[in-house]
Amino acid sequence: MSFQLSILKILAGQPHGRASIEVVKQHLAIYYSSGSEWPARMKRIANRAPQLDIFGQRLIEREAGCWMITEEGRKFLQTLEQLDRGAMQGQVERETSD
């Protein structure tokens, strides 16, 4: 699921939320070969959406040679990231109060 979440993130960062499959692959290769931070973050966030299916849930649309994040995809991603930020903030607060 974290792989699918990475695709959502990549598309959300592209002009008009659209990218060729080749561009998506290039970004994935960079993110997943640049250390453990990105995969760990994506796995942590993806745990909040265990049934994630970016195509079945229509979070991404496929067009000839490219993918595009939908408005639903943007909202879904934003919600997951807000939940993650809230959880991380709570963890930091607990650690500093100990």
Count: domains in the chain: 1
**Predicted model pTM:** 0.81
Instruction: Report which residue type is found at 39.
Output: P
Q: Give one word for 55, left, alpha or beta, with left for phi > 0 and alpha for psi -120 to 50.
A: alpha
Q: What angle do CA 28, 31, 33 make, to 5 degrees?
A: 100
| Crossing angle of the two packed helices 21-32 and 2-12, in degrees rounded to 10 | 120
Of 75, 70, 59, 68, give the one whose Cα is nearest residue 19.
68
- Where residue 81 sits, what CATH number does that domain have? 1.10.10.10
What are 4-32's pLDDT values in tens digits?
Answer: 999 999 999 999 999 999 999 999 999 88
Report pLDDT digits (tens) over 35-48.
888 888 888 888 88
Q: Among 13, 23, 94, 11, which Cα is nearest to 60's?
A: 11
- What is the span of the domain harbouring residue 21? 2-97
